[in-house]
């Protein structure tokens, strides 16, 4: 799809050891949205993602690399990605996991929903959405975290823990990123909570969450408990 005239879209990918996925994911994103620029926030992955991107960038002006010295968590990586979009004056920023769990085929529908929303969620938990390849434990963890976040943070949206989202950068500008508490996976719930505080309109577009194509998940079971603790602190901190 083509972007409306004057709109600039940044697609952000946070990565730790996702080089094998990036090789095909980045061109796949441009298949759906050729005008998008892509930012990879990489934490000095041992698989050589950094040098691989630096070489690619010499041939591709739509590609950007924000390299961090060491693995610092998905929360701070996501924040860095969104802050980059604010600092570089994009209109919209879409974030995807970099392992093909979030297929770029949904980007056109997500962008269309932004016509009347400030935040659009690529949602596993609305009609037409779903998850493939998860065991019982992973399903339970996701459902439990979502119910917990809805209860504590008063969120009305269905998929509050997924990272597949599009944000209107003008609304992100209103957030105080210094106040964020999450450094890990709870960043997703915290972002929705803070976006709601600044009056964002939300939309959810169904996606099928797919099994990662290469590599291994970086999430640990303990991450669920850590996320619950952070969500509680966010709720207590209030405005």
Ligand X SMILES: Nc1nc2c(ncn2[C@@H]2O[C@H](COP(=O)(O)OP(=O)(O)O)[C@@H](O)[C@H]2O)c(=O)[nH]1
Query: Pairing between strand 63-67 and 130-131?
Result: unpaired
Please identify which residue in 57, 152, 219, 235 interacts with ligand X, judged by CB under 6 A.
Answer: 219
Residue selected from 9, 10, 11, 14 as contacting ligand X according to rule CB under 6 A: 14
Range 3-9, long-range pairs (CB < 8 A, 24+ positions): 3/33, 3/35, 3/36, 3/111, 6/91, 7/91, 7/92, 8/37, 8/89, 8/90, 8/91, 8/92, 9/33, 9/35, 9/36, 9/37, 9/90, 9/91, 9/92, 9/93, 9/94, 9/111
Question: How many other CB atoms sit within 10 Å of the CB of residue 93?
Answer: 25
Local structure of 168: helix, strand or coil: strand
Chain positions 148 to 207 lying near ligand X, rule: CB under 6 A, are none
Q: Which of 8, 62, 64, 71 binds ligand X (CB under 6 A)?
A: 71
Give me the least distance between CB of 176 and Mg ion, in Å please: 29
Q: Is 43 in the site for Mg ion (CB under 5 A)?
A: no
189, interface contact from ligand X, Mg ion, none, CB < 5-8 Å by kind: none
- Which of positions 70-99 make contact with Mg ion (CB under 5 A)? 97, 99
**Cα-to-chain-centroid distance, residue 35:** 19
129 lies in the binding site for ligand X (CB under 6 A) = no
Q: What is the footprint of Mg ion within residues 189-218 (CB under 5 A)?
A: 212
Residue closer to ligand X (CB basis): 219 or 228: 219
101 part of the interface to ligand X, by CB under 6 A: yes
Q: How far is the CB of 11 from Mg ion (least distance, A)?
A: 16
With binding defined as CB under 6 A, does residue 15 bind ligand X? Answer: yes
Min CB(209)–Mg ion separation in Å = 9
Q: Is 100 in the site for ligand X (CB under 6 A)?
A: no
Spatial CB neighbours of 1, under 8 Å, sequence gap ≥ 6: 32, 33, 107, 108, 111
Sign of the C-alpha dihedral, residues 87, 7, 96, 38? negative
Count residues binding Mg ion (CB under 5 A).
Answer: 4
11 binds ligand X (CB under 6 A): no
* Site for ligand X, rule CB under 6 A: 14-16, 18, 41-43, 71-74, 77, 97-99, 101, 212, 217-219
């Amino acid at each position: 799809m083509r972007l409306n005239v004057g709109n600039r879209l940044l697609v952000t990918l946070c990565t730790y050891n996702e080089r094998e996925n990036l090789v095909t994911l980045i061109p796949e994103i441009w298949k759906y949205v050729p005008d998008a620029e892509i930012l990879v926030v990489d934490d000095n992955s041992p698989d050589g993602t950094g040098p691989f991107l630096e070489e690619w960038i010499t041939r591709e002006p739509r590609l950007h690399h924000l390299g961090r010295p060491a693995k610092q968590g998905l929360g701070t990586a996501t924040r860095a990605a969104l802050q980059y979009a604010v600092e570089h004056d994009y209109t919209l920023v879409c974030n995807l996991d970099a392992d093909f769990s979030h297929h770029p085929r949904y980007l056109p529908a997500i962008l269309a929903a932004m016509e009347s929303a400030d935040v659009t969620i690529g949602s596993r938990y609305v009609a037409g959405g779903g998850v493939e390849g998860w065991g019982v434990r992973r399903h339970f963890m996701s459902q439990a975290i979502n119910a917990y976040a809805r209860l504590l943070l008063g969120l009305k949206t269905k998929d509050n823990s997924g990272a597949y989202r599009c944000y209107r950068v003008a609304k992100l500008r209103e957030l105080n990123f210094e106040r964020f508490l999450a450094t890990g996976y709870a960043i997703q719930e915290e972002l929705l909570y803070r976006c709601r505080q600044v009056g964002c309109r939300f939309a959810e577009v169904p996606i099928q969450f797919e099994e990662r194509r290469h590599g291994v998940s970086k999430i640990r079971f303990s991450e669920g408990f850590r996320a619950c603790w952070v969500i509680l602190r966010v709720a207590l901190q209030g405005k």
